[in-house]
Structure 1
Amino acid sequence: MSRTGPQDHGDELLTRLGTLTAQARAAAEVQRSRVELAVALQRGMLPRGLPEADGVRLAVRYVPANQGLNVGGDWYDAFTMPDGRIGLSIGDVQGHNIEAAAFMGQVRVGLRALASVDSDPGELLARTNELLMTLGGDLFATCTFLRLDPETRLLESARAGHLPCVWATADGRSGLTEDEGGPPLGVQSGADFPVTRYRLDSGGVFVMVTDGVVEGPSMHLDEGMDQVARLAGVAAVARMDVDALAAALIKGATEVGHDDDAAVLVIGHDEPAGQP
């Protein structure tokens, strides 16, 4: 009769451990590849450059949520519309996977395409919402869309479940926009998205962010939004370059302890010629 000794049990255990280790490595490699693909998809969907117009200053910052094996679906966009005005959007897709990144691309492309048909921010969000509803699926996205007239400095805003914007004037006043807004995109058919109008002061700034900038384990949302408003106010008084403000805001996002995407879009307007 044969006997199985301790050596045989040890060999069997080592074999099983080796198999499990190989399987774990293979699974991790697949997931890592998915994250790399999603990050590449995200970056490929972001604009290559920003539109230019007399007096208008734009700056952006974006940090993807690729901590661990997660990836988010935040985006920003800025482009010149057929009528010469500038379209600006920022948003956040539910979820942290490659599906969220792909859905982000659908929303951003849909907004751009429909903006060539109707540039009114409220109608644009309504049309995009209906388009997403026809596609089906379980994902949704929050979004703010702004239309800026460089000549009059008129900002028209429509919001779909997204965070309010932050404003600051050259005399140091700052705060949050109080527009009504509508539901996130892809949730409710027939939704309305009211338009609110603002005037961008010379020397002032308008800031759009995603929640990765202002909310996380180390900071409550209200505290994070107040921090952005304070920084924007200081920047406007100091005549800080919009690019420097965007960099400061994205750096401040590290304080919230987030594992989400973080996106910032800053809009500024130069002082009229001849003024200090």
Structure 2
Amino acid sequence: MARHRSSHPSSAHELLGRLGRLTAQALDHAELHRARVELAMALQRGLLPAGLPTAPGLWTAARYAPARNGLDIGGDWYDGFALPDGTLAFSIGDVQGHDVEAAAFMGQVRIGLRALATGAVDPGEVLGRANELLLSMAGELFATCTFLRFDPATGELSDARAGHVPALWASADGRCGIEDDDAGLPLGILPGEVYPVTRRVLSEPGAVVLVTDGVVEGPSFPIEEGMTQVLSVVRAGAEAEPGRLAADVIKVAERTGHKDDAAVLVLRHDGFHERTGGTEAGTAE
């Protein structure tokens, strides 16, 4: 009678040998993945600004947190810089993807916005030019973004959104809200996209807070509840030191069980009512 050789190990020694080889392969894969994650983290932090600009009556702060599980890293950013005309520009955004490529693409978007802002005062025009620039690169990634311009002389804050999470605001007298104004599509999706601009004067003391979706959305609750939680934090901290407020907002991300990285940008202001006689009402163009 012919005998068929079994594919199973014939001894404990062979079993242990096979297990050892599989373990070594798994460790090599884990080490490679960990190295990739660490590289993405280093690249992310190296591309974020070391500091943010301020102005008389305006204080700023930001926070960044990697994904809770340590795997999804690289796409979120915040930025702030002074423009030649004396105004200040700020941006926050989120690149599709969470790896080294996303981190590198994030750096390109951030640098591109800086360059374009020097030649275009209007935030909508800045985003429009950035959109065309990304499309010309023929890449596969896209980015959501909010771009703001603040004029210290008038207290006017103008902004435009490219598919990004709306800004939240609160004043010292207890009023608060979500600036769910019109927005264009994310950058890098459709040629010729238009990005409406909202303008408002920061007439009363308070805070304007911008976040990425990693702060407000995760397995624990949907984005609507996350926005409500952040708005509550912003209302309670409208007069707080901006670094403290940013730290309190980023804690909401911990409660979402987020699988995405997260960023927060805070603009805390004393109010410009006496200088301008303006109002806080925003108007979309």
Provide the TM-score with structure 2 as the length reference.
0.89
Alignment of 1:124-203 (within 5 A): 124-203=126-205
Q: Which amino acid aligns with 1:175?
A: G
1:227-267 C-alpha deviation (Å, 9 max, x unpaired): 2222222222xx22222111111122211111211111110
Aligned to 2:106: 104
Matching residue of 2:244: 244
Which residue does the alignment assign to 2:279? Answer: none
Alignment correspondent of 2:216: 214
Find the partner of 2:79 among 68, 77, 80. Answer: 77
Residue type at the aligned position of 1:176: I
Higher mean displacement: 37-46 or 224-233: 224-233
Q: Which runs of 5+ in 1 are unaligned?
A: none
Counterpart in the other structure of 2:270: 270
What amino acid does structure 2 have at the position aligned with 1:188? L
Q: Deviations over 1:188-245 (max 9, x none)?
A: 1111111110111331111100111111111221111112222222222xx2222211
- Name the CA distance, whole Å, in 1 between partners of 2:10 and 2:41: 47
SS of corresponding position for 2:233: helix
Larger CA deviation: 209-218 vs 11-20: 11-20
| Equivalence for 2:60 | 58
Quote the offset at 1:271 in angstroms: 5.2
2:16 matched residue in structure 1: 14
Who is 2:280 aligned against?
none
> Given that residues 202 and 273 in structure 2 are in contact (C-alpha distance below 8 angstroms), is that contact kept between their aligned partners in structure 1?
no
* Aligned with residue 47 of structure 1, among 43, 46, 49: 49
Match of 2:232 among 230, 233, 246: 230
Aligned residues: 269
* 1:11 maps to amino acid: H
SS in 1 for 2:121: coil
What TM-score, normalized by structure 1, do the two folds share?
0.91
Residues 125-171 of structure 1: CA deviation (Å, up to 9, x unaligned): 01111111011122111000000011211011100000110111121
Specify the alignment match of 2:282 in structure 1. none
SS at match of 1:87: strand
How far apart, in 2, do the equivalents of 1:20 and 1:7 lie?
14
SS of the aligned residue for 1:32 comes to helix
4+ residue runs over 4 A deviation: 271-274
2:154 is matched by which residue type in structure 1? T
SS of equivalent residue, structure 2 residue 267: strand
In the alignment, residue 82 of structure 2 is paired with which amino acid? T
SS of residue matched to 2:11:
helix
